[in-house]
Chain A
Amino acid sequence: MLTRRTLLAMGLMSTMPVLASSSSQPRKLTVAAFPNVDAIIKAAIPKWQQLHPNIDIEVVSRQYADHHTAMTTALSTSVYLPDVMALESSYLGRFAQGGGLEDLLREPYRIDQYRSRCVTYAYEQAINRRGAVVAMPTDIGPGTMLYRTDLLAKAGLTASDLAGSWDAYVDVGVKIKAATGAYLVSNIRAIKDVVIRSGIGPGEGLYFDQESRVLVTAPRFQRAFKLSQKVRRNKLDAKVNAWSNEWAEAFKRGKLFTELSGAWMAGQLSTWVAPDTKGLWRAAQLPESTFVSFGGTFYAIPRQAATANKSLAWDFIQLLTLNTERQFAAFKSQDAFPALLATHDDPFLEEPLPFLGGQRARLLWRDAARQITATQVHKQDSFAEEVINNELDNVLDNDKDIGRALADAHRLLERRSHR
């Protein structure tokens, strides 16, 4: 739809290059973010001002969900857009499909020249259905299993008992529960979520394929449900939600044997959730060498943002994502595992981690990061996740038949798949 306003804007745009180079040098870049990405961005400002002394950076910070809501609002109306927006990976899929973000493959960005410098799956996550790359990855959350060595020893087991199949993992859980009373996992959904992510075929997403066909009756779902059933029958799940008091308390009391989560979880446990358990934890790859990601952050440039600022915005994104010093600073201060491969061969990754009893766990996480594959996202993914969670509850609490539960989920999702 061409309005008078857009015509006017187009007219203005043709004279833009002249203006941009001479008088209208912008003096401020606006960057919208959420904690703790905002802290990472603020920390980069001194370095930025050495490079561009005349250009200030204004960081607009909002609560995590508020930020993404505000970005949706700004993109929908194309006004008051920031020059750079941070996006969390679980929101990236939705934002990528809408066409409100700049395709970074184009001039002046040419993001493809940096492709080989980023963790592969993170870069691929930012590619939308039309092949555009809409965001630059900055940090990633390689999945890992944290486990308590002291509990393992108490049950007379070793780490090698834990490494293997999911069934072996559950069997260890049974022995741990018998010997120490500790639960295998905080919430059964953690196991289900990892298992349904293993064995995703090419061109498939987690719940839907490229043609929006529903995939929830696939073997990986059957398996995840059966495994969950086994865990529940042995009462191995503590039934607590992450980030609740019960969850934190269970960690402090040594009531949780493992936690399946992103690499950053070790930092959270050591700084505040359960600092007193220092030295008792170790990290390992997830059972059956499953490689999944838990979160990650990207930077994008809105298509309707001030044109004159775009190349500067890209400069700033490059500073945050391609500068090893900045990537390390974020890694050290906020446990933001770098998406920049150049940082992965640094001695810093080989440093022993005291909280994990001196284990060189960062190397483990680096290996995981390299093996994760990007999955196709679908608009209805978050609805699908919830439907599956419901049916899992039905199976575990009400003894619903797994086949019927997944068939019901399939039916519900089919109605939504094309909305």
Chain B
Amino acid sequence: MKGDLRSAVFVTSWPAYLIVAAGALIMLTPFYFMFVFATHSRTEIFNLPPPLWFGDHLIDNLTNLTERLPLWHNLGWSIYVALASTLLTLLFCSMAGYAFALFEFRFKRSLFALVMATMLLPSFMNMIPTFMIMDVLGWIDQHRALYIPGAASAFGIFLMRQFALTAVPRELIEAARMDGCGEFAIYWLIVLPLLRPALGTLGLITFIASWNNFIGPLIVMRSVENYTLPLALRSMQSTTNTEWGALMAGAAIATIPLMILFAVSSRQLIAGLTTGAVK
């Protein structure tokens, strides 16, 4: 059977492999340099050509970084906010996406249009009114202000709906209902497992988006101890006198959790389900 499948590949010759490998190199290079830069002083980073191999300033850069920032606090908050945001987003978006994909109800089309419309608004126009809402709610300098508002993201709902359209067979839901399965049980026991690959994708993307988000924290966070990493790292940047080496070390540290996350979730994401399970 495997041989048959291989014949379905329309490009399997070595030039294709070569192109993919060259592409991979282009993708990898900046990432590599991020770690190289983390081990150099700012003077060396600004050399041209930039340093190609690791230097010996890593310890200096890290010391500098931890002196200027409560780095471990910031890292901890980033992880907390990203996890909370991911879990909440997966829950809310899969619920709504499932509803839009497999139910017929009044206002369905208008509500979905509303979901899509929220994706189109530039976020920084909302800075001032969002700040006012957070003040009314008493959420200024509170981390919940970072993971609750965006938890029913239009992006996530849209992704879930698109995936559910193909991955969740209508007949299966009907059959479960016939068997007397409750709506909650159907969602929890049948729909969620079927959505797993898309949940993996959404989880990863949500985590990364939360991890890199700085406009949200910029609006609500007030004390350096409560900052998430991107805001903390940015707070080291001035117009003229920036400790680029320390900043690079911080940027590299900030990426490590994402790499681990990707390594863990990629199996879920790409290799996820075999076709047998869909049936």
Contacts and interface: CB of A to CB of B under 8 A. Distances in A.
Contacts of B224: 59-61
- Classify the interface of chain A: helix, strand, loop or mixed: helix
Interface string A61-79: 1111010011001101101
Contact of A69 (B46, B218, B240): B218
B235 A272 contact: no
Contacts of B242: 35
Given A69-B218, A275-B43, A334-B241, A63 B127 contact: no
Interface string A291-330: 0000000000000000000000000000000000000000
B222 A73 contact: no
A70 to B, nearest CB: 6
B43 A272 contact: yes
Given A268-B240, A268-B241, A62 B231 contact: yes
A271 B243 CA distance: 11
A66 B218 contact: yes
A63 B219 contact: no
Interface residues of B, number: 29
A35 B128 contact: no
B196 interface: no
Interface residues of A, number: 35
Most buried by A among B48, B128, B240, B242: B240
Interface string B171-206: 000000000000000000000000000000000000
Interface in B33-69: 41-43, 46-48, 50
A69 B234 CA distance: 13
A36 B241 contact: yes
12 contacts: A36-B238, A58-B223, A60-B223, A66-B218, A73-B127, A79-B132, A243-B239, A248-B47, A249-B46, A249-B48, A264-B240, A268-B240
Interface of A: 30, 34-36, 58-64, 66, 69-70, 73-74, 76-77, 79-80, 243, 245-246, 248-249, 252, 264, 268, 271-275, 334-335
Interface of B: 41-43, 46-48, 50, 127-128, 131-132, 135, 140, 214, 218-219, 222-224, 231, 234-242
7 smallest A-B Cβ distances: which pairs? A248-B46, A35-B238, A249-B48, A63-B234, A79-B135, A63-B237, A61-B235
